A and B are shown apart, each in its own frame.
Chain A
Amino acid sequence: MNVLLCYINTLNRFFDISAVEVGQHFYWQIGDFEVHAQVLITSWVVIAILLISTILVVRNPQTIPTSGQNFFEYVLEFIRDVSKTQIGEEYGPWVPFIGTLFLFIFVSNWSGALLPWKIIKLPHGELAAPTNDINTTVALALLTSVAYFYAGISKKGLAYFGKYIQPTPILLPINILEDFTKPLSLSFRLFGNILADELVVVVLVSLVPLVVPIPVMFLGLFTSGIQALIFATLAAAYIGESMEGHH
């Protein structure tokens, strides 16, 4: 009897190892909403990493930058370059937004690929990169939508909506549709890439636990970095597009 039970347990255990959980969430109840707690927790960790490292490094700025400050200035220069090439001359006010998007997504993706989240076991679901949950990416994409509407309207007033009939009024439906497809494509691209990457790694780990997943993990690192860059670049491009004038 005892042996049978243990057999079942062992089977269960192997099943657990080879099982790939998708769509399992650890829920927290806040008011009437059920939130995905694992996303919140990892987001907080990412935010903490960003804030603490920034505060530590920029606490005592030097004229000739020390190594940490040098690195952060390099990152800032990179973000400014991206926003300048995409937005154009008036990129200044948008650098914080683009930088926030880029850094948050980048650190999220890399934390998902590099930090051993699975050491911590949740009652339900598992910890992973915040960006592998569609809610996070949709939130970021909607922020981008709001940002480019705000940019266009604050720059041109109501004349901004003139761009909907810009080449010809026939394109009006397509132009309106574009406002919906932009956040959709942004969010699904990021979500799909990160989720697929983590799934591939998980599946490979469940099949061959050692060595074989390593190339895929490197590929995942590369992809996550590229995805963060693409998200930030596209957000900047949308903002720039809505700010440029068709005179």
Chain B
Amino acid sequence: MKNITDSFLCFVYWPSAGSFGFDTDILATNLINLSVVLGVLIFFGKGVLSDLLDNRKQRILRTIRNSEELREAAIEQLETARARLRKVETEADRFRVNGYSEIERDKLNLINSIYTTLEQFENYKNETIHFEQQRAINQVQQRVLQQALQGALGTLNSCLNNELHLRTISANIGMFGAMKEKKN
């Protein structure tokens, strides 16, 4: 009996200095308390932590989804903008072609109209020259006639004496008379 207690006590005793080893004394190593603390920590900490992480994950998911939606919307907008750009470009091309042809036509029209105007002006010029010539000729004729008449009047005034005057008058009377008879 003494031997048994002896060996029991001696078995429990562990040399405090020496080499590496394992301490099997549950109380001294504080195993029970540690496991309780660890258990409580895991039990409560798990809920809190998983809540926290779930929230974070949800937030990330939401952010990703939002940005995905934004991206899709942006892509859509880009597509519509591209389509519009393409449409506008073709339209612009058409307008450009149309415009060129129109300008060309306008130019031709303008040249033609100017040409006709020019011809008209040419005609006017010719007519004006002709007219001016005619007028000059008329003036010269009038001048000449006037001078001839004045000459004749002068000659008449200087040369007319009584007898000649009477003869002329009688001749004129005769002529008028003949004219009157002819009228009647």
Contact = CB atoms under 8 A, between A and B. Distances in A.
Does chain A bind chain B?
A: yes
Nearest to A63: B64
Contacts of B36: 214
A124 B16 CA distance: 8
Interface string A104-132: 00000000011110111111100000000
A16 interface: yes
Contacts of B21: 120-121
Nearest to A212: B33
A2 B27 CA distance: 27
A211 B40 CA distance: 13
B34 A116 contact: yes
B67 to A, nearest CB: 11
Contacts of B20: 120-123
Interface stretch (B55-63, B88-96, B124-132, B149-157): B55-63
Q: Range of interface residues on chain A?
A: 35 or more
Contacts, number: 101
B31 interface: yes
B6 A121 contact: no
Interface string B1-43: 0100110011011101111111101011111111011101100
Given A13-B12, A221-B41, A6 B6 contact: yes
Interface stretch (A28-36, A64-72, A173-181, A188-196): A64-72
Contact of B33 (A6, A65, A210): A210
Interface residue SS majority, chain A: helix
A209 B16 CA distance: 20
A122 B16 CA distance: 9
* Nearest 7 interchain pairs by C-beta: A209-B27, A118-B29, A121-B21, A13-B13, A121-B23, A70-B53, A217-B37
Given A71-B49, A221-B37, 7 more contacts: A17-B28, A64-B60, A67-B53, A74-B56, A116-B34, A209-B32, A209-B33
Interface of B: 2, 5-6, 9-10, 12-14, 16-23, 25, 27-34, 36-38, 40-41, 49-50, 52-53, 56-57, 60-61, 64
